[in-house]
Structures are given as C-alpha cells and as structure tokens.
A and B are shown apart, each in its own frame.
Chain A
Amino acid sequence: MITLKDYDGPVKPDWCPACGNFAQLSAIKNVLVEMNIEPKDVAVVSGIGCSSNLPEFIKSYGFHGLHGRLLPVASAIKWANPKLTVIGYGGDGDGFFEGTQHFFHTAKRNIDITYVVSDNQIFGLTTGQASPTSEIGFISKSTPDGNIERPINPLTFALAAGATFVARGFSGDPKHLHDLIKAGIQHKGFSFIDVFSPCVTFNKTNTYDYFRKRVYKYESPDRENFADAYRACEEWGDKIPIGIFYQVKRDTYEENDPVYRKGPLVDMPYRGILEEDLEEFY
C-alpha cells in the first residue's frame, strides 16, 4: 500500500505560509496515494516560478526545467515511457506567457498528461509583476498605474486549442480540487486544470476572500457540449464557476502514431541499422 509518507519530498516547501500552492501539492499527493500509484512511476515536470519548485517537495521523478517549457518535456517523457503518470505543474506566467505556444499545441495533440496551473494572477518569484491573467486595472510593480492589457482566459484558450479535459479549481476548496485533479489524472488525454491559487504576499486583490465570495461549483449537464462549456468558461465577475467544464473522449496522439502504437519506446529493444536497410542506397 502506498501511503502519503512515500510521497514526502526531500525538502520542505519553501512557499510563503498560506500560499495557494500548498493545497495543490497536498491534493496531488493524496490523489496519487488514493490511486495507488507508486512514486517510481510518477514524473512531475515543472517550469520556473514559485509553484514550479514543487518537484522537490514530492518524492517522485522530478524535473524542474525552464520557464515556460515544461509541457514539451512532459510530453516527451510520456512518449518515451507511457507507463508513467506524468504531471506538468507551473504558474500562469510560465504557462500563459512564455509557454503559450506549447500550451496550445500540447492541448491540440491530446497527449495523455495532466497539466495543473497554479494561477495566482501575478509573478510571485520575481516579486510582483502583472501576469497574463492579471485583471485590467491591477496594480503591480510592473503596472504602477494599473494593468491595461486584457487578461487571457486560460480555459477558453484550452478549449479553442482542443483540450479534451478543461477544469478550474480553487486552493480554498481542497476537497473539490482533489476531485478535479483525480479526474484529470484519470482522464485519457490532455487534461488541463487551472487553479485559483492566491498569492498571499504580492496579490492583495485576488485573495482567498475575493474568491470565496465569488466561486460556485459548476455542474455541467453535458460535459461533451463544447458551446455550453465555452459559455460557462467565459463567466467572470461577481460569480465565477469552478469545476469540470469540458471532457470528451478523443484519440491521444500516441494512439495514432504508427511507431508508438507498437509499444512503449522505452521497452523497444535496440534495432539499429540492418544490412537490408542499406540496399536502397545502392
């Protein structure tokens, strides 16, 4: 039996007390235990940012890479060894600024990985600049007169890209978040979970209180209905929905690649070049 202790990382989290990331770390660990997945079969890939320090805090195969580049790394790990549970974890600056193109194309490819974004609507590690999800008027170190750039909506972006699982959680509701992450890992294909994760140090606007007043649990009558999902994802203001907005079954990239279909690349024995391969050059 796998226990929580098995997932205890070598290092204690260095996040600020009450940081939204704690709830996500705890949810990920709990889900993995609940699903009885061994730490050796898990790869956690992150980018750069406060949240991206997570691989150190969970005992598994961790990969703490470059800002914005976690999805290509996570994709290839999954392609190389599909027996692994691959979780991508990063922040909103990481994923929706520098990593935008990877986010779009990974969603489109429908690779069977789970991508959790700790969305605090600000740059934390670099001490408080406006991020791609900062709202208009948001005052930060980089926007002292208020942000004038429209925020990205990561959910509709993921939908437009072709993600097959689109959800949003809130670190202030750990039980609900836990269920989302579990559903995401269980989903076969690219699952995207945007998590409201209050930055208690630099974001004084989008606080736990701010979200507690606004979020409500959205229950989709038909998760396969794209138009409904899109409409629900667009809701923003006094009421903000959290939950699974969209989930469809579609072939993963892996299922349609002729080479990949033959089995996990990591298990394929060395083939090399055979004598008959050289015939075409004569």
Chain B
Amino acid sequence: MKDDEIVIRVAGAAGDGVQSAGLIISKTFSRSGLNVMTYNYYQDIVRGGQSWYQIRASHNPVKSQGDGLDVLVALNRDGLERHTNPDINEGGASPLEGVAIFDESISDHSSRKVTYSPIPLGEIAAKHSKVTLVKNTVAMGGAMAALGIEFETLAEVIRNTFGSKGTVAEQNVAAAREGYEYYLSKYKPIRKNIRFDGKKKMLLNGGEAVGLGAVSGGVKMYIAYPMTPASSCLHFLAAHAKQYGVFVKIPEDEISAINMTIGANYAGVRAMTGSSGGGFSLMVEALGMAGMLEVPIVVYESQRSGPSTGLPTKTEQGDLNLVLGASQGDFPRIILAPSNVEECFYMTRDALNLAELYQTPVIVMSDLYLSEHDETVDHLDTDFRIDHGKRAADGEINYRRYLITDDGISPRAVPGQAGLMHNEDSDEHDEFGNVVSDAETDPMKRIAMMEKRMRKIETYRSGMPKTRTYKLDDAEIAVIQWGSTRGVVEEAVDALRDKGIKVGAVEVTHVFPMNPDIGKLVEGKQVIVVEQNYTGQFDRLLKSEFQMETTLVNKFNGEAFYPGELATQIQKVIMEVTKL
C-alpha cells in the first residue's frame, strides 16, 4: 500500500446499495480535490450474490483501480470474510490490510492484518430513519472519519444525492455524522500522506463520457437496445434527453437500432447507436450497408466477456475480430478505442466528424471496465466545430452522389434538398446511385466504385494523428496496448522502471486503420502486447500490419488487469525472452 493514496472498497450483495455508497464516497473524494478511479465488481443478478466497489484516490494521478486496500466497508458478513481473506479470489483484487468497518453484529475477527472497527450501523441508522439502507450512510461516515476526510464534504454529497432540502437528505446526513463521530470516539484514523487541495474535480464514467461526447458532437438521436455494458450511455442520454434535446429511443432490436441510425443520418440528422458484442453481431449486415451507401454512422461498441452471453457483467477486449471483420465484402471502416474516460468524450465527438468526413462507419470501441467505472477528469472542453464534410449545393446540375474523386469522397445530398434527388442503393451502383448489376453487370463501373470507396482509407490515413507513447524514448522493451488498458500499462511501466527495467509503452487508440508509425516506434525493441482476450486479437492485427516478433500478455478471467499483477507478468516475459 502506498502512502500517497487511498484505496477503499465497499462490499455487499446486489441490492445492499454497494454502488450508490461507492458513488457517494467517490464524489466525496473528487470534491476534496483528489484524483479518483473506481472499479465496479458486480454480478448478473438484481438481488443477492456478491459485489463490491473499489475507489482509489490520490493527489497524484491515478490511472487504474490500484493494488492494496486501506479501508473496507463490509455491508454483510460475506463481504467482510471475503475481503479480509489473504487468499481472496476476486480476479486480481488485494485483500484488506487496514481498517474494516462493519456492523457490530458480525463477529468475524480472523485476520491479523486487519484493524477491525465495528460500528453499530443498524442501531445508529434506526435512530434516524426507518430505511435499513441508511446503515450504509452510517458506515460511510465511519469510513470518511477513518480516512480523515472532512465531514462537511461528505454531508454535501449526501445532500446532493438525496435532494438538498428533503428530510431524507437530513436523516442521512445525521446518520453519517453519528457514524463519523462514533468512529473517532473509538478508533484512530489512518495516517496517510494525502494532500487535499479542495479544488473540485469532474467525476464520470465512460458511458456518460461517450454520451456527453455524442451530444457535443451534434448527435440529435441516440437509438439503442439495452445491453450491458453499453447501457450506461443509453441511460445517461435518456435521463438527459430533454435537457440536451436528444431524441432517445429503444426500438425492437439492434437490427432496427442501426437501420434507424442509418436512416436518420441519411436524412441529415446526426444519430448514433450503441451496444455490446451480442447486439453488435445483429448490426453486422447493416454496418456493411452504411459502408456501401456511404452513409455516415457511429456505433459505440462496449465489449464484455464473450463468447455468446458470456460473463455479462465482466470486462474483455474480445470483440476486435468481430468489429474488424463485420459484414460481407470490403468497405472502409474506422475503429477507435479511447483509452480512458476523458478520451471517451473527445473521441466520440471526433468520431462523429470522421463519419461525416469519410461517409463511412466509425466504431468507437470501449469495454465494461471503461464504460462502468468512474474517473476524475480535467474540465471537459465544450467547444467543438461540427464538420459535415462534402455536401452538394441545392440545385446542382447533373448531381452525382457517388462522384469519382481522388480522395474517394463524394458530395452528399440529403432529402429535402432541391434538384439533388437520387437513389442510394445497397446494390453496387454507378456515380448516380443507379444499380450496375440488374440488367447487365458493368465490371468497369464496379471496379471504379470499389476503388473510390476504398481510397477513403488512404485519405484518412494520410491525416491521422501520430501514435502516442509513454516513456518509450530510452526503452529497450515496448509494451503495445490498445484501448482501456492504457492506465494500468503506464502504472506497470512505472513499477518496472522503478526496478531499473527500461520499458515503455505504445498506446494505440486508432486501431484501424492503424498508423504506420507503430512499426518504426518499436524497431529494435522487444515487443510485448497486452490485451484482455484469449487469442490475442490485437496482437494478430499488429502482426498482419507490421513485421514484428511479439509476446502476448493477456487476461480473460473477466476482471481488469491490476498494475502489480501486470508488472509481474511483463517482467516474467522479459526474463524469459532475455534468457533465450
């Protein structure tokens, strides 16, 4: 455990209020001026089972859920026993070596590394409210006391959460205060070297950031069928539909969702859809239609553990092959993978411009880990310029929707524009949009149109941003990652550098087409590819794009990498390869 950070975990069963307690604590930290990163461990169950929510906070940047555990708030016996057990089996999470806060009716005190700090949670809660979940608020009070957080910060978050003037809010504040004071009267706070600057920070999850990015990027329609973990974006936008002026709709299935999205974009309104792998699988045929009709669309694809229904509440990066290969035939597609919550915002709105500039599908790939954890970010820049790309002017003579151009991009026209009526066709067509295959297939026109569409990839590639690196300059070993593993990889790199190992990272957000600079960046270095799936789908893509020898470090148990675990695995690979 580090002196300059706090790791706290709330554990209980589904229905115990684990997540809401976790969110209140997170917000208390972010309002105290700390950087915060959370981790949501839950099951595919509405009541019961076991779930927990971890919060890591520091005045220093926090890039992953972290290792170690300072404070545990156990909302049931199972939670206490599980997280104080040194052989905890939670996919990489650390056992508690600090303060445990729990109701005094639980009598487990078996771990020597734990400072058991029971509080009469139920008893105190009953004094303030008939609602049993108020015991969580009492526990939060105790936990904030243990960590030396000012009570008023917690009280303010509670008031915000429960409605600032209601009696419910005041009951909860009173319950929390008593928990806080009880802790201080009986136990000692943990000594940590944390600096609170009191400068509030924005806190949000990846799904919300995608939603905000969508609106910032001009989305007026979000059409999606519910599926974890893409639903955090759907729920966010539905809740803000009126405020943002976004039409939000759940249609009958994902096939309808993407066809509607295409229809709206065709008609000149920016629309977006989102799902996880299962729903995306249903969208596959229409994705190709968007490629063929050259209708701009953005699909948000948040991965979870597959195959099939898989582990519905667990993370993975196993959909890359699906997204890369989705739909028959060849057509240009752009695949982006934001690396953190902040980038979910900026990359989603960029994706909307890219889709219109290149008139082709853009898929923004996230995963459960990124979509569902909260993270502090710098204040988001709300300034944005919408770029509709090439558009034809009303009344243009001899308008050709699919005009052959050097950059592959033709001027669009949308219904309602005078004089530009034309047909957009899923059959192969000529420059006017007329089918070239019905009466007599025209091979020359087919070739010209195929080449025109595919040229858009090269146009895009010529202007794409350089690949980002982390401490790569003097590195002998390059770790290549994509998407959400960026933070944990950077922390593993730091840990290995502390041991004198010269390692750096290549961080890929523009997954396809990929920037050719990656080949040069790793030249002469040992290359390790980190990703969360069984076969190394990204590793295979890299090898198909570049000549390189790689070693795969992967994880597919459903949980995200932990920095210590990842550093150990990378070090093992380095040593094995060096020995050879």
* Contacts known (A11-B435, A80-B267, A282-B202); A272 close to B215, Cβ less than 8 A: yes
B262 partner, pick from A41, A59, A73, beta carbons under 8 A: A73
Contacts A10-B423, A72-B251, A76-B260 given; indicate if A66 touches B245 (C-beta within 8 A).
no
Partner of B419, one of A40, A55, A262, A282: A40
Interface 1/0 per residue, B313-324 and A, CB below 8 Å? 000000000000
Q: Does B105 contact A (CB under 8 A)?
A: no
A140-148, A150-158, A253-261: which lies at the interface: A253-261
Tell whether B129 is near chain A: CB-to-CB under 8 Å. Answer: no
A278 to B247 alpha-carbon distance, docked (Å): 20
Assuming A268-B245, A273-B380, is B202 touching A61 (CB within 8 A)? no
Contact residue among B220, B423, B438 (Cβ-Cβ distance under 8 Å from A265): B220
Residues of A at the B interface (CB closer than 8 Å) are: 9-11, 14, 38-43, 45, 48, 53, 55-56, 59-66, 69, 72-77, 79-81, 83-84, 101-102, 104-105, 257-260, 262, 265-266, 268, 270-275, 277-278, 281-282
- For the complex with contacts A14-B439, A73-B259, 7 further pairs of A-B residues with Cβ separation under 8 Å are A38-B418, A48-B426, A64-B424, A80-B268, A84-B267, A259-B245, A278-B202
For A257, list chain B residues within 8 Å (CB). Answer: 247
Q: Which of A66, A80, A83 contacts B271 (CB 8 A)?
A: A80
Q: Across the interface, do B200 and A56 meet the contact criterion of CB distance under 8 Å?
A: no
Closest to B380 in A: A278
Are the CB atoms of B252 and A102 closer together than 8 Å? Answer: yes
- Known contacts: A76-B271, A105-B256, A265-B221. The answer to whether A64 contacts B426 by CB under 8 A is yes
Contact yes or no, A273 B263, CB < 8 A: no
Evaluate contact between A62 and B201: CB separation under 8 angstroms.
Answer: no
**Cross-chain contact B256 with A102 (CB below 8 angstroms):** yes
- B266 contacts the other chain (CB 8 A): yes
Residue among B246, B259, B433 with most chain A CB within 10 A? B259
When distances are taken between beta carbons in the complex, the residues of chain B under 8 Å from A277 are: 212, 240, 243-244, 382
Distance to closest chain A CB from B562 (angstroms)? 27
Q: How far is the CB of A103 from chain B (nearest CB, A)?
A: 10
B384 lies within 8 A of chain A by Cβ:
yes
B403 interface residue, CB < 8 Å from A? no
B50 at the interface (CB under 8 A from A): no
Q: Does B166 have its Cβ within 8 Å of any Cβ on chain A?
A: no
**For A59, what are the chain B residues with a Cβ–Cβ distance below 8 Å?**
421
Q: Complex formed: what's the CA distance from A266 to B269 in Å?
A: 6
B374 vs chain A, min Cβ distance (A): 10
| Contact of A105 with B263 in the complex, beta carbons under 8 Å | no
User: In the complex the two chains form, is A262's CB within 8 Å of B245's CB?
Assistant: yes
How far, in Å, is A81 (CB) from chain B's closest CB?
A: 5
The reply to whether the CB of B415 lies closer than 8 angstroms to some CB of chain A is: yes
Q: Within the complex, which residue of B203, B221, B262 is in contact with A79, where a contact is CB–CB below 8 Å?
A: B221
Chain A residue, CB-CB nearest to B286: A66
Q: Inside 8 A of A74's CB, which chain B residues have their CB?
A: 263
CB contact under 8 A between A69 and B243, given known A11-B435, A76-B267: no
Interface residue B227 (Cβ < 8 Å from any Cβ of A): no
For residue B432, CB closer than 8 A to chain A, the reply is yes
Find chain A residues with CB under 8 A from B271 CB. Answer: 76, 80
- Residue in B202, B264, B286, B382 whose CB lies within 8 Å of A272: B382
Question: How far is the CB of B162 from the nearest CB of chain A, in Å?
Answer: 15
Query: Given the known A-B contacts A61-B421, A69-B286, A84-B415, are A259 and B246 also in contact in the complex, defined by CB atoms under 8 Å?
Result: yes
Q: Is the CB of A101 within 8 A of B263?
A: no
Q: How far is the CA of A38 from the CA of B424 in the complex (A)?
A: 19
A residues less than 8 Å from B426 (CB atoms): 48, 64-66
User: A53 to B438, Cβ gap below 8 A?
Assistant: yes
Do A278 and B382 form a contact, CB below 8 Å, given A45-B263, A63-B266, A80-B268?
yes
- Which residues of the other chain, A, contact B425 by a CB distance below 8 angstroms? 55-56, 62, 64
Determine the chain A residues whose CB is within 8 A of the CB of B202 once the complex forms: 278, 281-282
The 8 Å CB contact of A61, one of B215, B415, B432, is: B415
- Does B416 lie within 8 Å of A41, measured CB to CB? yes
B204 within 8 A of A: yes
**B434 interface residue, CB < 8 Å from A?**
yes
- Asked if A56 and B435 sit within 8 Å, CB to CB, the answer is yes
One of B204, B259, B422, B424 near A281 (C-beta < 8 A): B204
The distance from the CB of B526 to the nearest CB of chain A, in whole angstroms, is 41
Q: Nearest Cβ distance between residue A84 and chain B, in whole angstroms?
A: 5
B244 touches A66 (CB 8 A): no
Q: Which of B411-457 contact A (CB under 8 A)?
A: 414-427, 432-435, 438-439
B contact residues around A105 at 8 Å (CB): 251-252, 256
Q: Say yes or no: B423 contacts A40, CB within 8 Å.
A: no
Residues of A within 8 A of B438 (CB): 14, 53
Of the A-B pairs whose beta carbons lie under 8 Å apart in the complex, a sample of 12, sorted by A's number, is: A40-B418, A56-B434, A66-B426, A69-B256, A76-B262, A76-B267, A83-B416, A268-B220, A270-B218, A271-B245, A278-B379, A281-B203
The number of chain B residues touching the other chain, given as a range, is: 35 or more
Which of chain A's residues has its CB closest to B289's CB? A66
B31 within 8 A of A: yes
Given the complex, which residues of B lie within 8 Å of A73, measured CB to CB? 259-260, 262-263, 266
The distance in angstroms between the C-alpha atoms of A59 and B253, with both chains bound, is: 32
Q: How far is the CA of A259 from the CA of B422 in the complex (A)?
A: 30
Which chain B residues (4-60) contact chain A, with CB distance < 8 Å?
30-31
Residues of A within 8 A of B404 (CB): none
CA distance A10 to B417 in the complex (A): 18
Chain B, range 193-233, C-beta contacts under 8 Å to A: 200-204, 208, 212, 215-216, 218, 220-221, 223
The answer to the question of B242 belonging to the interface, with a C-beta cut-off of 8 Å to chain A, is yes
Q: Which of A14, A258, A273 contacts B216 (CB 8 A)?
A: A273
Closest Cβ–Cβ distance, residue B23 to chain A (whole Å):
12
Report whether B245 and A43 are in contact in the complex, using a CB–CB cutoff of 8 Å.
Answer: no
Q: B255 contacts the other chain (Cβ, under 8 Å)?
A: yes
Whether A79 pairs with B259 at a CB distance below 8 angstroms is no
Interface centre among B30, B246, B424, B438 (most CB of A within 10 A): B424
Contact at B415–A76, with CB atoms within 8 Å? no
Set B30, B269, B427, B439: member contacting A81, Cβ < 8 A: B269
Residues of chain B within 8 A of A282, CB atoms compared: 30-31, 200-203
- Chain B residues with CB under 8 Å of A265's CB are 220-221, 247, 264, 269
CA–CA, A90 and B418, complex, Å: 26
Q: Which of the listed residues A53, A59, A80, A259 has the most CB atoms from chain B within 10 Å of its own CB?
A: A80
Report the bound CA distance from A64 to B437 in whole Å: 14
Q: Is the CB of B259 within 8 A of A69?
A: yes
Task: Tell me, yes or no, whether B521 is within 8 Å of chain A by CB.
Answer: no
**Cβ-neighbour of A40 out of B203, B268, B421 (below 8 A):** B421
Closest A residue to B211 by CB, please name it. A273
CA distance in complex: A260, B253 (Å): 21
User: Interface 1/0s, chain B 263-288, versus A by CB < 8 A?
Assistant: 11011110100000000000001100
For A66, give its contact among B264, B285, B422, B432 (CB under 8 Å): B285
Taking the nearest CB of chain A, how far is it from the CB of B164, in angstroms?
Answer: 13
Complex Cα spacing A58 to B359, Å: 25
Question: Smallest CB-CB separation from B295: which chain A residue?
Answer: A63
Tell me whether B464 is interfacial, beta carbon within 8 Å. no
Contacts of A45 in B (CB 8 A): 263
Between A41, A260, A265, the greatest number of chain B beta carbons within 10 A of the residue's beta carbon is seen for A265
Contact of A72 among B220, B259, B380, B421 (CB under 8 A): B259
| A43: min CB distance to chain B, Å | 5
Inter-chain contacts of A48 with B (CB < 8 A):
426
